[in-house]
Structure formats: structure tokens, C-alpha cells
Amino acid sequence: MATYSTNEFRSGLKVILDGDPCSIVENEFVKPGKGQAFSRVRLKNLKTGRSWERTFRSGENIEAADVMDVEMQYLYTDGEFWTFMDPDTFEQQQADASAVADAVRWLKGLDVCIVTLWNGSPLSVLPPNHVEIDIVETDPGLRGDTAQGGSKPAKLSTGAVVKVPLFLEIGDVIKVDTRTGEYLSRVKES
Amino acid sequence: MSNLSPLEVSSARMDLYQAVRDYFSQSGAIEVEVPLLAAKTTTDPHINSFLVDGTSGLRYLQSSPEFFLKRLLSDNPQSIFTITKAFRDEEFGGNHNPEFSMLEWYRLDFKLADIIEDTLTLVRQYLGDLPLVRETYFSIFQRYLQLDPHQASLQDLQELVVQHTNYGHDCVSVEEALQLLLTECIEPQFQPGITVLSEFPVSQAALSEVEPDANGRFVAKRFEIYLGKVELANGYQELTDSLEQRSRFERDNLIRQKLGRATQALDEALLEAMDPSLPPCSGVSIGLDRLLMAKLDLEHIDSVLLFPWNKA
């Protein structure tokens, strides 16, 4: 079993804590004068996304987590699993709903996502920062109103709802920032 | 002031060392120089020394100049100080670099209260008249945790650890629990300015004398000075009895064994120099890098080191 000592803790290191894979966010060495030293560590639980704070004995060993990030193409879903493929090896992985989580509303066929694998299975999915998706539902557009402010909700073919300018129409393809959920630009008119 | 040039840092360090030397030359202490490579090292269970494997023999990089200074003091009763590098393996962080600069001094016939005033005078001459709070180990544990640290059982402490910290273990000793609670619950509450913390539990006496406090309870004649939340200085009214010193070293080694650390051969030259006893004195050491950080208002020790650990 591979382990890391607290002395090796640095941001991004993957360890197992209470059975869950975690990524170390911050490690602070603290020592009360002449006494025992401790490591005050902030971790992100990679399963739940929650932030943890934990204090360790300095020098203590923690189990390493076999976690890696792989670029994979999203293929399709059967409603229960989302299938991704490694574009180099053509190896496929099935991610369940808890792994896909919030990314689900941005998943468009053939887009390249970052799939985090734990012991070889998908743990989480990160969509591309920018995606291009078509509008499937929105109020009728106001032609010629391209310069004015104002926005309206638009539902995209992947299920996400974003605020878009008033002139956009069903069938338009728009570019969205998945980190903020914000509309960036129109890519193509319907 | 976050990015000072190497020359600005060096110039500030030069001013600091000058101020230190002026202070001691005016108050009658002599600067001495002691080795960095020594045949013996500390038994302190929580300090790991670097071992240097030279063709000339095995030596330790000194974790503190203390043993040499006490050997000197024994044969040459005179107040002394040294500015030196000290080395502690595995200690890195915002306030720690494994190689660091230390000022350590000893005053003959000083009691704990005298050496505290001496230290405060030096620090306030250099940093200015910072607000000052005086606490005892008892008073801070009372204030922040409503606990008597000298009486509490491991079980009492463990309850507080579970309640107030994110510690992933049960504490195995009262000392571990007290140190954890101090680090996690008390130090973070320290206000800007100077906090003097004194009268430590007997179990943390290290190399200090043990005497009854105002309530007749035995406490260690040891103090620490904090600047804000950062420990700056640690000092003792020095234990002078060589037999008691030997038994504390031996106890350290038992703790080292329990922690799975290598035991350390006792520094017999020190014990012999102390036999039958060291002249009555008090001593203190100050982390010079941290003092410089405070002067320059810098948060990370790397900012005052020209070549911090990962660049050295």
C-alpha cells in the first residue's frame, strides 16, 4: 500500500481519508513552541466535492489514493450510465449519476471532458470550460434588438438553462462558460 | 511589503544583528561562537536532528546552541550570547525552515521574571512599543477552554479535542492533547502585539527549573513570547542540577522509543560540565527570521531567506 507522510503533503496530492479519495488543498505545519508538531490540512473530498479540515500528527503516514485525471470523449447515455471513451486507446468508461453530477447539463456528444478515475473507475467528470450547444426552448426573439441589454432564459439541448440576450432564437447555437454558466456568444444562427 | 529584493532583506537583517549586538554590548554580555557540527544532539522527542556522515566521523547539525553555551557558562561564569544557524529536520511551513537563524543568550543570576523583562526590552527596542499581554498556561486554558491544564485528565482533554478540533486521532497523552488544544484553540486567538506565556506544566519543563506557583502548584519556570500568533522566543530559568537533567534526558529517550524514534546518546560533556550544578542563570532563544518577518511585516519565512529550503 503506497503511503505519503505529512512531510510530503502538497497541494494536489491524492490521499484516502475515512475511506474516501481526497485531494490536498493546503498543508500548514504548526508546532506549539517546543512541543509536538502537527499538520493542519485542508482537503477536498473528491467523491462529494466537500471541503474537509483535518489535523494530523506531523510525520504521520496516510494512504495514497490511486486517482488520475484523463481526457475522455463523451459518447452517450442510457439514462443510468454516461459513457466516455479515451480517444487514444478507445477504452470506454461508464460513469454513474453521482460521478457525472452537475456536469450532466453540459454534456454534449464528442466533447472532450476530464474524467477523474479512482482505482480505474470514474469518480467525477469535469466538462470543457467552453461548450457550444443549441437552444431548444426560449421565448421568441426580438429581431434587431442586438445591442440592447436585457435577457431571457433559454433551455439548451443538454438540459441546462442559461440567460441569453433577447435576440436569440430556438435553434441558435451558443457558446457558454460551464464554470459560471454564463452565455458568451452566438456561434451560429438557426 | 511582500516582495523585497535580496539586498533590502539583507540590509534589514544587518540592521537587526547590529541592534542585537549593540543591546548586548551595552548590557554586559559577550558574543561567543559555538560549533554547528557536534558529536551529540538534543534528546527532545519532538526535534529531529540532521546527521552528517563525514569521513572524519558522524556529527549532528546543531538543533540549538544550548548545550555548548551551557558548557561554556559552567567553566566561565559570564553572561553570553550567540547568533547562529540551527537545524531541525522535517520542520517547514510559513514560520519554519529546516535551517534557521537563532539568537540565544544566558544571564547569570537572572530569575525567570528578569529574563522575561530582558527579552521584552530587546524586542520592544527593535519593534517599537507593541501592546503587551501577560498570560500563564493556566490563565489561557481557563479563558479559552475553561480548563485547568495542570489538573485535567486525558479523558477531559480528549472531550475538548473532539469538540473543538479536527484531529483525526485519540490523543495518547495529556501532553499531546494540551499541545494540540494550545495550537488549534488558543494560539489562533492571540491578538496582534506581544503575548508572554509562562508557567508551563511540569511535563513541558524541558530544561527549566520547576517551582511552586502562587497557588502552591508546581509549574515549569519556562516562558514563551508570541508576536501575534507566532512563537518568537522560548526561555527558561535554567535547571542547574545535573542529576535531574540526566533523568529528564532519559525520560525524553523513553518518549522517543514510544514514538518509534531513535534514542539519542546523552551529551555527557554537558552533564559533566553541569556537575554538580550550573551557575544559577536564565536563558532564552529567539527566532531571528521571525523577528525580521515581524519588523518587515512579512507573512512567510521564505520572504526573509535569500535561499529558502526548496531553493537552497
Q: Which residues pair with B106 in a beta bridge?
A: B80, B283
Amino acid B27: pLDDT: 95
pLDDT tier, B85 (very low <50, low <70, confident <90, very high otherwise):
very high
CA nearest to B116, candidates B4, B208, B192, B252? B208
Q: Does B300 touch chain A (CB under 8 A)?
A: no
Residue A150 φ/ψ region, left for φ over 0, alpha for ψ in the -120 to 50 degree band, beta for the rest? left
Tell me the per-residue pLDDT of B279-288, one tens digit each, with 9 for 90 and over.
999 999 999 9
Q: Which residues 206-265 of B are in CB contact (within 8 Å) with A?
A: 206, 224, 231, 234
Mean pLDDT of all residues belonging to chain B: 95
For the record, the C-alpha cell of B307 comes out as: 535561499
Tell me the per-residue pLDDT of A46-68, one tens digit each, with 9 for 90 and over.
988 899 999 999 989 999 999 99
Tell me the per-residue pLDDT of A96-126, one tens digit each, with 9 for 90 and over.
999 999 999 999 999 999 999 999 999 999 9
Enter the pTM of the model: 0.84
B231:A40 CB<8 A:
no
Residue type, A92: Q
CA distance A29 to chain B (A): 5
Containing H/E element for A95?
strand A92-96
In this structure, chain A runs to a length of 190
Containing H/E element for A83?
strand A81-85
Q: What is the mean pLDDT of residues A66-91?
A: 94
Q: What is the mean pLDDT of residues B168-193?
A: 92
End-to-end CA distance of chain A: 56
Q: Does A57 touch chain B (CB under 8 A)?
A: yes
Amino acid A5: pLDDT: 93
Residue B2 has pLDDT above 80, yes or no: no
Q: Is the Cβ–Cβ distance between A99 and A118 less than 8 Å?
A: no
Set of chain A residues whose Cβ sits within 8 Å of the Cβ of B92? 7, 29
DSSP states along B61-103: E-S-SHHHHHHHHHHS-S-EEEEEEEE-TT--BTTB-SEEEEE
Q: Is the Cβ–Cβ distance between B1 and B296 less than 8 Å?
A: yes
Set of chain A residues whose Cβ sits within 8 Å of the Cβ of B187? 32
Residue A143 φ/ψ region, left for φ over 0, alpha for ψ in the -120 to 50 degree band, beta for the rest? beta
Residue type, A4: Y
Set of chain A residues whose Cβ sits within 8 Å of the Cβ of B165? 55
CA A163 to CA B86: how far, in whole Å? Answer: 61
Structural domains in chain B, CATH included, are 6-129+245-311 (3.30.930.10)
Q: Which of A32, A37, A56 is closest, CB to CB, to B91? A: A37
Tell me the per-residue pLDDT of B7-48, one tens digit each, with 9 for 90 and over.
999 999 999 999 999 999 999 999 999 999 999 999 999 999
Set of chain A residues whose Cβ sits within 8 Å of the Cβ of B234? 33-34
Q: What is the mean pLDDT of residues B91-101?
A: 94
CA nearest to A72, candidates A127, A149, A129? A127
pLDDT tier, B1 (very low <50, low <70, confident <90, very high otherwise):
very low
Q: Does B180 touch chain A (CB under 8 A)?
A: yes
Indicate the SS3 state at residue A65: coil
Q: Does A55 touch chain B (CB under 8 A)?
A: yes
Residue B22 φ/ψ region, left for φ over 0, alpha for ψ in the -120 to 50 degree band, beta for the rest? alpha
